[in-house]
């Protein structure tokens, strides 16, 4: 009698091409990580360079490699370091395309630049457009006028504009905040942290005695950086503007696609702003790698997660909640979009980027200067009224975003509506709120002191800037 195992019978039933497969899960994961690393590198090179050019300043690829492309996720950092890239200019010498090679049998990952709208990352496997205007010269040859040279493994070499330190101490006029700001650029507020900018605004400071801006070499008032999750507070501001115009209500539900047929139809904009949708997310913090690095669309990556808890009952910090809150008002973007919001606030150096389609990635992908983020904070000091007297946000919107409701994160901070709360930290007023983002992005608003504190950084994974101690020390230093 011949005995045949079930596994053998199953193998016989498979097509030869499938039964011969030898790719393991580890190999698939390794290949996927290479694709993600290439996407991360392409997008950050494109965004950092193109958005700086938009603001009239220049950065070099080497600067981006030194700051934005170091200290990232350990899963992709070693891979990213070895990947070669090419930066292609348009006819005007602006960054138009960044390509990163990652696999011999697949097209390079690429990000496409726009002078007005930042960059967008293409999906894995898509061939880059190569119109004549973007064909690079051979290594060593001159590119279009003003664009520099193209080199293997690098690309367009863009000269850096020398930037002075702004608002620093001088021998003749020391400023009260100078010692604290000096410490922010060292290791006193976190070993291994890397501060790129500090801006402090005080409503009563008419003579500039506070030292309003300090920048690391290569950065300045017009240099944009990615806001990371500070963008969530910007998204809440955009939604607040829609509420003020009568185009949205916080109690509105998002009957999106299949949601209208299940319990997700009861999720409100308020639930989404408070990270309390009750939906599942697969990682703490909801990393959304397919969207941020893989070139996936908001439409496909943020919408399908199922409900696990009744809306409003569980706090779960999730990028997808912010993305869906923005989708709840997207029908109004033809009349008022993020660019209109930035124009009203005076954030002229800020760009909200989109996915490969048209959806804004307002959970993270905004590029803004430190000065612009100070203007965002000032809008909240002024209770939603712009400098020219226009009411942009509803009355008491600041009270709404700073009022906790329902579940809380339990990490020493409270959470309102897409703004963090300082709770009972000694030496910091109870009305203090903050927008916070990855790699050390902070916008701290202290209404009772009429103060805004902005700290920008490129902190490596594992290093954390102590924003509580820094805020306390800044407040103690201001008369």
Model confidence over 381-405: pLDDT tens digits? 999 999 999 999 999 999 999 999 9
Domain 163-248+329-479, second-level architecture: 3-Layer(aba) Sandwich (3.40)
pLDDT value for 197: 98
The average confidence (pLDDT) of the chain is 88
Reference 150, options 82, 93, 79; nearest CA is 93
Query: DSSP state, 389?
Result: S
- pTM higher than the cut 0.85: yes
Query: DSSP state, 162?
Result: P
Cα 284 to its chain centre, rounded Å, is: 17
pLDDT (average), residues 269-283: 95
Which residues are registered as beta bridge partners of 225? 368
CA dihedral sign, ordered 261, 267, 273, 279: negative
Strands (DSSP E) found in 213-277: 213-215, 225-226
Q: Is the pLDDT of residue 224 over 60?
A: yes
**Residue ranges of the domains in the chain?**
26-134, 163-248+329-479, 267-326
pLDDT value for 146: 35
What is the rounded CA–CA span in Å between residue 196 and residue 170?
20
Model confidence over 54-87: pLDDT tens digits? 999 999 999 999 999 999 999 999 999 999 999 9
Which residues are registered as beta bridge partners of 360? 354
pLDDT value for 116: 87
Task: Order the strands of the 85-89 sheet from edge to edge.
Answer: 85-89, 95-100, 109-114, 118-121
Least confident range from 128-137, 161-170, 292-301: namely: 161-170
Model confidence over 299-328: pLDDT tens digits? 999 999 999 999 999 999 999 999 999 999
Token pair 């916080």 is found at 250
CA distances, 183 to each of 220, 360, 428, 457, 469 (Å): 18, 36, 19, 14, 11
Q: Is the pLDDT of residue 205 over 90?
A: no
Model confidence over 75-125: pLDDT tens digits? 999 999 999 999 999 888 899 999 999 999 999 999 999 888 999 999 999
Which residues are registered as beta bridge partners of 100? 85, 109
pLDDT (average), residues 240-258: 93
Q: Are 175 and 232 in contact (CB under 8 A)?
A: no
């Amino acid at each position: 009698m011949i005995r045949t195992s079930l596994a053998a019978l199953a193998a016989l039933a498979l097509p030869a091409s499938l039964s011969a497969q030898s790719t393991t899960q580890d190999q698939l994961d390794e290949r996927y990580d290479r694709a993600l690393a290439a996407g991360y590198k392409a997008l950050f090179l494109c965004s950092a360079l193109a958005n700086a050019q938009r603001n009239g300043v220049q950065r070099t690829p080497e600067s981006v490699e030194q700051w934005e492309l170091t200290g990232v996720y350990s899963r992709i950092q070693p891979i990213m370091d070895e990947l070669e890239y090419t930066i292609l200019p348009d006819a005007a010498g602006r960054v138009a395309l960044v390509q990163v090679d990652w696999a011999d049998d697949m097209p390079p990952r690429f990000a496409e630049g726009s002078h007005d709208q930042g960059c967008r990352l293409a999906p894995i496997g898509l061939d880059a457009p190569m119109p004549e205007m973007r064909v690079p010269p051979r290594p060593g040859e001159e590119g279009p006028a003003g664009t520099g040279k193209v080199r293997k493994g690098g690309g367009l070499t863009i000269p850096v504009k020398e930037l002075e330190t702004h608002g620093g101490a001088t021998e003749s006029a020391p400023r009260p905040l100078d010692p604290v700001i000096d410490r922010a650029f060292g290791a006193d507020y976190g070993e291994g942290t890397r501060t790129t900018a500090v801006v402090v605004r005080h409503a009563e400071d008419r003579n500039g005695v506070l030292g309003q801006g300090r920048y690391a070499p290569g950065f300045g008032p017009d240099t944009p950086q990615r806001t990371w999750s500070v963008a969530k507070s910007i998204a809440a501001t955009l939604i607040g503007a829609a509420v003020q115009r009568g185009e949205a209500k916080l109690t509105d539900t998002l009957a999106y696609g299949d949601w209208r047929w299940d319990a997700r139809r009861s999720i409100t904009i308020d639930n989404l702003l408070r990270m309390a949708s009750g939906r599942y997310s697969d990682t703490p913090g909801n990393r959304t790698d397919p969207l941020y690095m893989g070139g996936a669309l908001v439409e496909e990556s943020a919408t399908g997660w199922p409900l696990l808890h009744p809306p409003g009952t569980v706090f779960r910090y999730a990028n997808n909640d912010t993305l869906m809150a923005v989708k709840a008002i997207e029908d109004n973007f033809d009349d008022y979009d993020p660019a209109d919001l930035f124009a009203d606030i005076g954030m002229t150096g800020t760009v909200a980027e989109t996915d490969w389609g048209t959806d804004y990635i307002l959970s993270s992908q905004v590029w803004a200067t430190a000065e612009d983020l100070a203007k965002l904070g000032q809008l909240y000091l002024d209770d939603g009224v712009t400098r020219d007297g226009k009411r942009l946000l509803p009355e008491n919107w600041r009270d709404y975003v700073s009022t906790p409701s329902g579940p809380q994160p339990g990490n020493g901070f409270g959470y309102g509506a897409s703004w963090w709360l300082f709770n009972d930290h000694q030496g910091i007023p109870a009305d203090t709120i903050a927008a916070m983002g990855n790699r050390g992005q902070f916008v701290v608003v202290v209404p009772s002191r009429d103060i805004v504190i902005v700290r920008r950084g490129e902190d490596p994974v594992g290093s954390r800037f102590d924003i509580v101690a820094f805020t306390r020390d800044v407040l103690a230093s201001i008369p």
